[in-house]
Amino acid sequence: MQCNTETPAACGQQIMGWADQLAQFSEAPDMLTRTYLTSAHHGAAAQLAEWMCAAGMSVRRDMAGNVIGRYEGLTPDAPALLTGSHFDTVRNGGKYDGNLGILLPIACVQQWHEAGKRFPFAIEIIGFAEEEGVRFKATLLGSRAAAGTFDMAVLDNLDDDGHSMRDVMAASGFHAAGLGKAAYAPKAVLAFVEVHIEQGPVLLNQQLPLGVVTAISGASRFMVEIEGLAGHAGTVPMEMRRDAAMAAAEIGLYIEQRCHGTRGLVGTVGQFNVPNGAANVVPGKAIFSIDIRAEQDSVRQAAVADVLAEIEQIAKRRNVVVHSRKTHEASSVPCAPWLQQQLASAIETSGLTVKHLPSGAGHDAMAMAAITDVAMLFVRCGNGGISHHPDEIMTAADAALAAQAFSRFVENFKH
């Protein structure tokens, strides 16, 4: 594609055009699926490297398969301001999730390159090879490698065809023994700033194109199994029932009510099963998931404690047995106030209202926080905020505004 980023509008078009082109690298026809180290994934990596190169960057791959473009500063080997996001996708995903956070900075660097502009620091754009965890059921592989927190145990995870991550990596020329070298030395890094589509409806509802993320919410997840007593739907009187599904339903409603109305707190029962259920049987067993997230860990922990206490109450009153198992726990990752402030003033300078909001979804910035201060710029998601879905959309105008704000942020960056 012809480089044309002379005006903000052209820059927005450029980013959207690249996103369309990158979306052609898919494992499945008629949808976008690009999981770690498949041929579609290799194709996308090569394409990103080509665009980075054309934008005046030197490009390297690390042993996790991350594609890293470096735009040198005024002095060689200057510490780098890092940016980037992931280029893997979920199955049948959207084309901006992750990819936008790589393409947008490339468009900005291209402009600086064409204008011969350099900064007192280097800029590195990292196309993280893996974030979503689809192929090997382990998330944030790229950013964990870059942050030096890669969990070597996941190398033995198998994909659906029974291939281990270790073998698949080796077949692609990425050797686990070299993963340690993928880690950035903290002193070579000034900060990490990730541009990402919001993946939710908050900015859209407030008619704002951009937002500054305050924190990536922490999360607690549980699987809960309720044992009641199965019985005939016609013969067991209501007062004698020990209905596992209705106990689960009552718990679900409590979670909804408990999480409602507290800023930054959300609770979800996303899986709800009545194993071997039948229309004419009182459910003897129910299995469901709980996912509770909050911007502040204390808020999340208080909600989790209340939910667990209420589960006990409900189980006692309904005479059912509960087994709950925590399957995931992650603390909130705050975005650095000094970076938030600089992002906010870049947005303000563009004449836009600044909206601060937490990110309920996990992002590469979470992993990068292990080595440096992080921040995120959210870009409005269209279509009601839908993401992880082919209907994920955003506008070229918003891409242009985001590129403008990101450029201003970098041009005025003080550390």
Q: Which residues bind Zn ion (CB under 5 A)?
A: 97-98
Q: What does the block give as tokens for 245? A: 């599904």
Phi-psi region of 176 (alpha: psi -120 to 50; beta: other; left: phi over 0): alpha
Q: Measured from the CB of residue 229, what is the shortest distance to Zn ion in angstroms? A: 44
Q: Measured from the CB of residue 99, what is the shortest distance to Zn ion in angstroms? A: 9
How far is it, in rounded angstroms, from Cα 198 to Cα 206?
13
Which residue has the CB atom at the shortest distance from Zn ion?
98
Nearest to 373 by CA among 400, 397, 341: 341
Q: Measured from the CB of residue 33, what is the shortest distance to Zn ion in angstroms? A: 14
Q: Measured from the CB of residue 64, what is the shortest distance to Zn ion in angstroms? A: 17
Looking at beta carbons only, is 72 or 97 nearer to Zn ion? 97
Looking at beta carbons only, is 97 or 159 nearer to Zn ion? 97
Looking at beta carbons only, is 97 or 130 nearer to Zn ion? 97
Looking at beta carbons only, is 98 or 142 nearer to Zn ion? 98
- What string of DSSP letters covers 33-93? ---TTSHHHHHHHHHHHHHHHHTT-EEEE-TT--EEEEE--SSTT--EEEEEEE----TT-
Q: Is residue 152 within 8 Å of residue 189, measured between CB atoms?
A: no
Phi, psi dihedral angles at 177 (to 5 degrees): -60, -25
Looking at beta carbons only, is 195 or 255 nearer to Zn ion? 195
How far is it, in rounded angstroms, from Cα 316 to Cα 339?
49
Q: Measured from the CB of residue 81, what is the shortest distance to Zn ion in angstroms? A: 20
Looking at beta carbons only, is 302 or 361 nearer to Zn ion? 361
Q: Measured from the CB of residue 96, what is the shortest distance to Zn ion in angstroms? A: 9
